[in-house]
């Protein structure tokens, strides 16, 4: 139940492409909830919002925002509230990685990645939880990655941001469960999205074994609805965390490096 004057809403960051776009499509078809789609590309968001309104009669709002900018999360929360909406499902999906050696990456790109993948995600969780606690219900989905389970050469910072998302989300779920709030960390393997164009991942082994964004979205939403704290998506990826735990750490790191070698 939302605060009386506010309408419950689902916020999806990074909804202009890939997994976020697939999640928006599924949620518009499956739930009657107002959707708030967030990303930087206004044209993509507007086209998706129009499609979802026509196809499902969904109520969809769009917010154009760069979440790498410090303070953007607070701006997003204020904007959502000003629209008369209360976030009862938060999907922290926006994120990017870069396939490169750490020393060859410009510092501003590293800072942007950390800001988007970790800081904005954390600030959004912090901002929505008080309202969720008051209403004694809420769902948070944080998109991590299978990169979270071991060190990732050529994705050193990205892998570390995703390890943060996984650990943070699991801890948060344990803290918030008694308040009626569930937090689900989603760990996809390689997925066919624009992620690999941005990362410069083409020609790698990872790019040869991709799931679709739609199958990832389906697994992610099943886990969210079941209140599961962690889901690894994709049949081939599911046993990965188990085998990685059995391996010497150096071997797991080497293996991760092989998968993204260009
Ligand atoms: N694809 C994979 O293989 C894979 C595997 C594991 C985990 N993941 C994770 O899955 C999530 C979704 O990625 P994807 O695969 O769907 O990639 P994608 O197609 O590139 O989507 C990324 C989304 O994030 C948005 N975004 C990027 N930078 C942003 C910023 N500064 N401010 C606001 N929005 C921003 C992008 O929109 P705009 O460009 O319009 O801003 C886009 O909507 C990410 O967290 C990624 O790390 C992906």
- For residues 205 and 162, the answer to whether their CB atoms sit within 8 Å is no
Among 48, 95, 143, say which to mutate for ligand 1: greatest number of ligand atoms within 8 Å of CB. 95
For position 231, what pLDDT does the model report? 98
Q: What is the pLDDT of residues 81-132, one digit of tens each?
A: 999 999 999 999 999 999 999 999 999 999 999 999 999 999 999 999 999 9
Does ligand 1 lie within 6 Å of residue 143's CB atom? Answer: yes
121-135 and 156-176 helices cross at what angle (nearest 10)?
Answer: 10
Max CA pair span of the chain: 55
User: Domains in the chain, ordered, with CATH?
Assistant: 7-259 (3.40.50.720)
| CA geometry: angle 11, 12, 18, nearest 5 deg | 170
pLDDT bracket for residue 3 (50, 70, 90): low
Above 70 in pLDDT, residue 150?
yes
Does ligand 1 lie within 6 Å of residue 11's CB atom? Answer: no
Atom of ligand 1 nearest to the CA of 21: 43
Does ligand 1 lie within 6 Å of residue 234's CB atom? Answer: no
Atom of ligand 1 nearest to the CA of 186: 7
For position 1, what pLDDT does the model report? 52
Alpha helices in 72-212 (DSSP H): 72-82, 107-114, 121-135, 156-176, 195-199
Atom of ligand 1 nearest to the CA of 44: 40
Q: What is the pLDDT of residues 48-59, one digit of tens each?
A: 999 999 999 999
- For residues 166 and 173, the answer to whether their CB atoms sit within 8 Å is no
Does ligand 1 lie within 6 Å of residue 66's CB atom? Answer: yes
CA of 18 to the centre of ligand 1 (A): 7
For position 209, what pLDDT does the model report? 87
Q: Is the pTM of this model over 0.95?
A: yes
For residue 190, count other CB atoms closer than 10 A to its CB. Answer: 24
Q: Which of 155, 158, 164, 195 is catalytic?
A: 158
Respond yes or no: is residue 158 known to be catalytic: yes
């Amino acid at each position: 139940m939302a605060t009386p004057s506010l309408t419950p809403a689902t916020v999806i960051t990074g909804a202009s492409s890939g997994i976020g776009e697939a999640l928006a499509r599924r949620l518009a078809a499956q739930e009657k909830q107002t959707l708030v789609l967030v990303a930087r590309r206004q044209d993509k968001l507007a086209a998706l919002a129009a499609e979802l309104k026509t196809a499902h009669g969904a109520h969809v709002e769009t917010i154009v925002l760069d979440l790498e900018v410090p303070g953007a999360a607070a701006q997003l929360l204020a904007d959502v509230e000003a629209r008369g909406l209360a976030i009862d499902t938060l999907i922290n999906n926006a994120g990017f990685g870069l396939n490169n050696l750490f020393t060859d990456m410009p510092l501003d790109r590293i800072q942007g990645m950390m800001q988007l993948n970790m800081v904005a995600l954390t600030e959004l969780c912090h901002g929505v939880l008080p309202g969720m606690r008051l209403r004694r219900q809420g769902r948070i989905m944080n998109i991590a990655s299978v990169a979270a389970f071991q060190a990732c050469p050529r994705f050193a910072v990205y892998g570390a941001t995703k390890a943060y998302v996984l650990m943070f989300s699991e801890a948060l779920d344990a803290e918030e469960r008694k308040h009626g709030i569930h937090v689900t960390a989603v760990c996809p393997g390689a997925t066919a999205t624009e992620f690999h164009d941005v990362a410069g991942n083409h020609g790698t082994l990872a790019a040869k074994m991709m799931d679709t964004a739609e199958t990832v979205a389906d697994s992610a939403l099943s886990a969210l609805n079941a209140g599961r704290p962690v889901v690894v998506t994709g049949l081939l990826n599911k046993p990965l965390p188990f085998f990685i735990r059995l391996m010497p750490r150096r071997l797991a790191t080497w293996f991760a490096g092989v998968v993204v070698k260009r």
